[in-house]
Amino acid sequence: MNAKRGHVSADDAPATEPGDWDNAFVTHSADELRKVVAERHTRGPNKNPTKEQVTVRYSPEVLAYFRATGAGWQTRMDEALREYVSGQKAV
């Protein structure tokens, strides 16, 4: 960016190549643009659904403990709950 506030020099931006525009989408409609962007950024179906997404409330102390263990804390919480469940007597 040039020293002048708000002024951008053409030298600051690299030239584009024809291949840069292969996936370009031109529209004058914000709604149409939102639709196309949403379609491009959606994940596919879970190929091997081994877990179920739910909303659960935990005490702040429990969350603080697991979060403090670093990345992967949710997996460790799941493992701790599995261990608890496997140790319970079947009814």
pLDDT digits (tens, 9 = 90+) for 48-64: 778 888 999 999 999 99
pLDDT digits (tens, 9 = 90+) for 3-45: 567 777 777 778 888 898 888 878 888 898 888 888 877 777 7
**Cα gap 70→16, rounded to integer Å:** 41
**Cα gap 33→24, rounded to integer Å:** 11
End-to-end Cα spacing for the chain: 70
Residue ranges of E strands in 1-91: none
Q: How many residues does the chain have?
A: 91
- Minimal CA–CA distance to 66: which of 77, 55, 57? 77
**Cα gap 9→16, rounded to integer Å:** 15
- List the domain boundaries for the chain: 16-40
Report pLDDT for 91.
Answer: 59
